[in-house]
Amino acid sequence: MERLEGNPLYGRVALGHAVSLIKGGGSIGQGKQALVALAGNEEVLPTDRAEARFLLALQAIGEEDELNYEKYRTELGEDQNASYFLVRLEELKRTKNLLAVAKSLPAVNADNGAKFLSEIKTKKGVTETESGLLYEALKEGTGEMPTAEDEVEVHYHGSLINGEVFDSSVDRGEPSKFRVGGVIKGWTEALQLMKVGAKWKLYIPSDLAYGERGNNSIGPNEVLIFEVELLGITPEEEPESLLTDVNQTVDPQGETNQTLVPVPAKMIEPTNVEVPKPLPKPERTEPVEENSTE
């Protein structure tokens, strides 16, 4: 590369050359050396030196080289001309960290959840079902057991294994109503094992809860803990009568607009109405069998 240190454009040319070497993939080492040389070159513009350090720090992030990342970040922090690059670098670093955490979170949660459940299984009074659901009866009920089609009224308090509460009807001070078959699998299974009046503590594996997708404040592969009290089964509503109230009349537009007053029997004048005589019944004939012979 032709040396142009005396030219103000040298810094830009050197930056472009270094970046092309790194992007090419085959000469990453040469590209980094070019950036290191540029970062220490006092003959180029201060902003070009700052950008070279910025690019070196970015390369260190990509290589997970914390030592060099801190080195170039510190140099940028000491350079009054590098405030933009420093802010941008720290933003990208946070994004990189967040992406790394997001990628690893499902595996971390699954591992922590498995360890937690294995410990809970050994706890006295805890029962495990075939699906892997764990429950502990805090209070036995004496009422009926709901089916998947029933609507139930419950109080519940939900938390993660770290103790963080994500939802609680108890805290809201108002029980919830829902169909047994319309909630997460762990709830549907547990409620059909409970009797009205029972209070259980559920330890729900992620595959019986929200799985890898999570839900709002619930992360991927999170084990959920619920204290659930089955308050009652909501009775089915009776179907509305198809008959109109005898004391109401409906106009052609369908609006009720008048109350009928029953007419006393003595106000009804008798009328001479001739009742038609019934028609005579036809004579019964037996079916004739075809092709009969005398």
Catalytic residues: 156, 166-167, 184, 210, 226
d(CA 193, CA 216): 28
d(CA 168, CA 176): 10
DSSP state of 262: P
d(CA 231, CA 39): 71
Other C-beta atoms lying within 10 Å of the C-beta of residue 60: 20
d(CA 222, CA 207): 9
d(CA 152, CA 142): 15
d(CA 24, CA 26): 6
d(CA 191, CA 198): 10
Angle between helix 66-78 and helix 83-120 axes, rounded to 10 deg: 140
